[in-house]
Amino acid sequence: MRLAPECRACLLSRVVAEAEYVSSDAETVALALRRCTELYDSRANEPVGASVIAGAVHRCCYAVIGSADPYAGLKVQDNAVAAGVAEAVRPMLSSVHDYVVAAVIGNAMDYGVAGHEIAKDFTGYFREMFERGLALDDTERILALAERVVYCTDNCGEAVFDKLLCAELRRRGSHVTIVVKDQPMLNDVTMQEARDLRLDEAADAVYHAGGGAQLGLHPDVYPPEVVAAMRDATLIIAKGLANYESLTEYAGLPPVAYLMTVKCEPVARHVGARKGDLIAVLRQQ
């Protein structure tokens, strides 16, 4: 998926927000915005996926503000909140379809989209969205392919629900490999958070995707163990917008199940849904 006209304002608003997470100095924030704007405008017409340019912009911001992980505190907070929500709603989850819906609802724990706010009462939000269900639902087709799954995580917080889904898939006989980010990018899960959340308890293996601080997934920088896992997979499960934006640029992949809350109009148009929809869609690439 390529950049859309709306992406510029959205991305630059996130630059300001993440700069303000770690700096109260207005000049530093302004410098980060200026340099990131220049970078975006210089690269906006390149024939590459949106996540490539957005990732470069975020890395530029991180360099200016002098922080490799401006979302560090929020990641800890969101994991704690999600753990409490998961405990409260666990009695609602009985089928693997329920766990898929829960994982998609968890994708709302995202700071990367302008105008998207995380519900303060996430337990109430979860119950409301669980009742609403999936607007696009390929769950039956997805599960039919789930012999060997590579599960690509997205945000902290939602990873608590990812763990529940991965554990349920394994209980049903799936071989599950979990892939997280190599280095911090937004509030995405890295190996540090994977250890904190004990994701290994719900997987046969846990790897990072390589490439340093990347936004989304990029097969050209996968380490050998992820290349092998992807080659052997019968199904890739990709969580969230950035993973959708990046993987849709690649062909020759195993079937990909995109699980996400649709948070912006460009992705809504591209996937064929509405902003705010919960979706689990299968794509043959």
| Cβ neighbours for 94, distance < 8 A, ≥ 6 positions apart | none
How many domains, in total, are found in the chain?
2
Domain boundary among 65, 90, 113: 65
CA atoms within 13 A on the CB side of 111: 23
pLDDT tens-digit readout, 258-269: 999 999 999 999
Q: Does any domain span residue 39?
A: yes
Query: DSSP label at 255?
Result: P
Considering the domain architecture, whether residues 120 and 218 belong to the same structural domain is answered as: yes
Amino acid, single-letter form, for residue 71: Y
**pLDDT above 80: residue 117:** no
Query: DSSP label at 208?
Result: E
**CATH number for the domain including 43?**
1.10.8
Tokens 């490439």 sit at which residue?
211
pLDDT the model gives residue 112: 65
Considering the domain architecture, whether residues 103 and 59 belong to the same structural domain is answered as: no
Mean pLDDT of the chain: 96
pLDDT the model gives residue 285: 80
Considering the domain architecture, whether residues 41 and 119 belong to the same structural domain is answered as: no
Cα 122 to Cα 89, 240, 256: the distances in Å are: 11, 18, 28
pLDDT the model gives residue 110: 76
**The pairing of beta strand 136-137 with beta strand 278-283:** parallel
| Cβ neighbours for 41, distance < 8 A, ≥ 6 positions apart | none
pTM, entire model? 0.96
pLDDT the model gives residue 246: 97
Closest C-alpha to 148, from 168, 173, 171: 173
First vs last C-alpha separation in the chain: 13
Closest C-alpha to 282, from 180, 169, 139: 139
pLDDT above 90: percentage of residues in the chain: 95
Q: Does any domain span residue 174?
A: yes
CA distance 97 to 249: 28
Considering the domain architecture, whether residues 234 and 219 belong to the same structural domain is answered as: yes
Considering the domain architecture, whether residues 21 and 122 belong to the same structural domain is answered as: no
Cα 126 to Cα 60, 90, 158, 164, 260: the distances in Å are: 35, 11, 11, 15, 14
Considering the domain architecture, whether residues 84 and 40 belong to the same structural domain is answered as: no
Considering the domain architecture, whether residues 136 and 198 belong to the same structural domain is answered as: yes
Considering the domain architecture, whether residues 42 and 82 belong to the same structural domain is answered as: no
Mean pLDDT across the stretch 240-262? 97
Amino acid, single-letter form, for residue 273: A
Amino acid, single-letter form, for residue 86: A
CA distance 12 to 163: 32
pLDDT tens-digit readout, 10-65: 999 999 999 999 999 999 999 999 999 999 999 999 999 999 999 999 999 999 99
Considering the domain architecture, whether residues 139 and 214 belong to the same structural domain is answered as: yes
Bridge partners (DSSP) listed for residue 260: 279
pLDDT tens-digit readout, 134-147: 999 999 999 999 99
Considering the domain architecture, whether residues 80 and 43 belong to the same structural domain is answered as: no
pLDDT tens-digit readout, 167-217: 999 999 999 999 999 999 999 999 999 999 999 999 999 999 999 999 999
pLDDT the model gives residue 111: 79
Q: Does any domain span residue 2?
A: no
Considering the domain architecture, whether residues 50 and 83 belong to the same structural domain is answered as: no
pLDDT tens-digit readout, 52-95: 999 999 999 999 999 999 999 999 999 999 999 999 999 999 99
Cβ pair 191, 199 in contact under 8 A: no
**pLDDT above 90: residue 256:** yes
Tokens 């995405």 sit at which residue?
188
Cβ pair 271, 262 in contact under 8 A: yes
Considering the domain architecture, whether residues 29 and 139 belong to the same structural domain is answered as: no
| Residue-range definition of the domain harbouring residue 55 | 7-65
Residue 257 in 3-state DSSP? strand
| Residue 261: φ, ψ to 5° | -90, 125
pLDDT the model gives residue 22: 94
CA distance 213 to 207: 15
Q: Does any domain span residue 1?
A: no
**CATH number for the domain including 118?**
3.40.50.10880
